[in-house]
Structure formats: structure tokens, C-alpha cells
Structure 1
């Protein structure tokens, strides 16, 4: 019978986002737009200020402009990642710029960014970027019974679907290394898996899938940083299903 599980974590909070950009117009737009989308936003007009805030606060998402007077996005992220005591040392990060070709985007992803934002951007672009914030497995429940019941109808149906879902996760876990060698095949499997997540209330895994899909949309063929995070979420979801 579907009921509360140990994997069901507290409800999510509005994503807390740090935006660093030396262009006042861009900084104002990004701050206002993210606020409209429900995020709480902190602003920094240069890399030094951004680093200080990232050290002091735990942000769910970092958005760094690629060209600031005192540093670039890669340098800022590299420095932050090497400060384990910084509260946002492991937060998902996005690089933003008005000029980014495909090669530059791939280089930024390889340097450690989880996504890329090309300016000028739209609310739709920012809404997609925000999925990186809610992909944090510590913010979303592994199994959300309320979501599963609202989608699938009854506890009996949810239980049956979760049994099938578990077997699907086992198969993907076994095949993930091979799947990751072909972006097209992997994206197709992720698309199907995300639908299954919705029926079964696998909120955390769905968030990790969204993060990985962002990389695939950018045609990143190198080491996909969210892949291991996705694998970990997949296995945690399997463990939660086994206990439910």
C-alpha cells in the first residue's frame, strides 16, 4: 500500500539563486525574471562579490557571466570549487554570455558548468535553467506519494506502476555506461524514463534527468558532469522503491 516512506523529504523551498553579472541591465533583468518565476535572488556586480556571497550562503543555483572585469566565469567557478568550506562549493552552476558558439558551450560544460544561458534570454529559458536548482536530491523527495496518486489515481495502480518502474531502473542502471556513449540513444531513454517518474512520483530522479537532458541538448559529447549524480539518484530511488 502506498504511504509515507523514509525517502519522503520535507517540501521544497523556493530556489535560492546567485546571479553575477557586471552589466547592470542584464543583472536587473535576470534578477526580476527569476523572481517572477518564484526564486529568491541575490545579485553580484562582479566576481569578487559573487565569491564572497557563495562562500557565506548555500545557493541552489549559481549563474555567472562569462566576462567580468575581475574574473571570468570559469575562473570564478574553479576558485569556488576548490574551497570546500564555501557553503555553495558544490552548487549547480550556469555560465551566461551574449556570444557562445557550440564549441564554447561544450568547453564551459567540460569546465564544470551544469548548463549555459545565452543572452538575451526569455522567461522560458530561465524556467528551464531553474530545473538545475530543483534537481538537488536533498531538496526533492525520492518518492512523492501525493504526486503519484494525483497522476495515477489509486494506491493499487501506483504500487503496480512502481513495480514496473523498479525493473526499468534496474535495466538502465546496468546499461548506463553503454547508453552514455550515444547521446541520441541516451536522450530517448531519458525521455521515456522521465514520463515514468511522473507516474510514480520519483521527483528527485526527474530533476536529475532534466539536468542531464540540458547537457544533451547542448550536444556535449565529453564527460557529462550530471551523469554520476543521475546514477546516484537512480540507485537511491531504487532503494526507496524496494522499501516502499
Structure 2
């Protein structure tokens, strides 16, 4: 188990229900960046709390339970690395162990390595695209629970009739069993994982496997941006994979 996995296992919060409004702490000393990130996250359906520097972010994270943290790497009174280190050392901090993303105007390979070792689930380079921000959070927190596991109406529209949809779902079920056994290896091969998620999204679309398709899209976007698959991202995808396999097995 590497440092990131140990940090994610330590004080791991209970699984989150995407049907509730997720709370995100955004910490950045630049006012325009705070405004952009806040507006972007609210438009994506998140509840946002803002911090203006490291001390403010640490105070809020210690006393309030957030579902995710977005922490700028360089702020007065402590940047992302210092804040997360303090939270990991504080067993009674309300947001200890929650997924944390680092943000920076420039993320060098050296900085990315330090962030990985510290336990960050992703690094977001500013300015970032709205879609990239959404993919990063959905990849870890899960897609909206209002998206159903199997959407028969969507599958019928894509395939044209129930017989064809049933046949394609049988093929998808076999594909997902194969993917279950391949996922660990794919998690260590970002290029192959991105291509695999692309193919899976197509298959899910034909079968009405809406939630898994959405989670695959989030995983794909995360890996493209981060150039790797964080353990928390792979685990979240695995949950949706198992839920879809179970749904497909029902009569």
C-alpha cells in the first residue's frame, strides 16, 4: 500500500449519497479565482464554502464536515500540502480523510509527485475548464444519484426494440465481468484506461446503463487531466460497476 492509499484509508468517511447536496471547501487567496470556482461549482450542483488563506481553510476544515476540499498550493498562512498534513495529524478534525484536490497555476512533475505522496486525489491546474472540474469531483464523489442504474426507456430509444436491448445487455454483462478482473491492471495504465472507458461509454449508451456510463465519463475525464487514476477514483468506479452487474443479473 502506497502513501496515497494509506492516507485515503486513514479516517475514511462513510460512502456519500450523491442524492444530497455535496459541500465543497474552496481555499484560494485570489478573489477572482474564488469567484470563478464558486460559481462553477454552484452551477454543477455543489454547495460551496470559501476560504481566503491557509489559516481560514484549516479552521473551517477542522470544525465543519465537507465532502471535498479544493486547496490552492500557495497561500498565506499555509498552502495545500501544509493544510492536508495538519488535517491528517488531527484525529478530531471534522474533514479529516475527505477527498482533497490541490489547485495551482503550474503543476510540475515534482509538485505532482509531492501531492500524490501527501494523499491528494487530484491536482487541478488553473485556469481550469468547467467540465474538468466536474469530472474531477464526480470521479471521486460519484455521479448524481438521480441518474438511474438501468434506464429501460433510454435503452429502447438506442436499440429500437426490447429483444435487441436484452441481447445487448447480455453482451454488456459479460463485458463488465471481464472489466472487473481487468480494472486493477488498467488503473496502472492511464492510456489504456482512458480508451477502455471510451469504449464502455458507448456500450452503456446502447444498453441504457446510465449511471455506469456517467461514471466512466467522469473517470475518463479525471485520468486525462490527472494523467493517473487515484485509488479513490478507481474505488468509486468499482462501486458503480458492481451495482450495474447486479442490476443486469436481475430477471
TM-score band (shorter)? 0.7 to 0.9
**Matches for 1:168-187 after TM superposition, within 5 Å:** 168-187=175-194
CA distance in 2, matches of 1:238, 1:51: 41
SS of structure 2 residue aligned to 1:71: coil
Aligned residue-pair number: 232
Question: Gaps (5+ residues) in structure 1?
Answer: 1-9
Of the two structures, which has the highest relative contact order with CA contacts closer than 8 Å and spacing of 6 or more?
Answer: 1
Post-superposition shift, 1:79?
3.6
The alignment partner of 1:63 has SS state of strand
Within 5 A, what are the aligned runs for 1:90-129? 90-121=97-128, 125-129=129-133
Match of 1:218 among 226, 229, 239: 226
TM-score, normalising length from structure 1? 0.74
In the alignment, the residues of structure 1 paired with residue 21 and residue 138 of structure 2 have an alpha-carbon distance, to the nearest angstrom, of 9
More deviation in 58-67 or 143-152? 143-152
**104-113 or 92-101: which moved more?**
104-113
Gaps spanning 5+ residues in structure 2: where? 1-16
Q: Find the counterpart in structure 2 of residue 132 from structure 1.
A: 136
Task: Choose the corresponding residue for 2:215, options 198, 202, 207.
Answer: 207
Q: 1:151 to 1:96 in 2, by over 3 A?
A: farther
For 1:230 and 1:73, locate their aligned partners in 2 and report how far apart those are by CA, in whole Å: 26
User: Partners of 2:209 and 2:175 in 1: how far apart?
Assistant: 15
Q: 1:139 to 1:154 in 2, by over 3 A?
A: same
Once superposed, what is the RMSD of the aligned Cα atoms?
3.4
Question: Is the Cα contact below 8 Å between 1:205 and 1:237 reproduced in 2?
Answer: no
1:31 equivalent among 10, 15, 38: 38
Query: What's the offset of the Cα at 1:38?
Result: 4.2
TM-score of the two chains, using structure 2 as the length reference: 0.73
Cα distance, 1:97 vs. partner?
A: 1.0
2:8 aligned partner? none
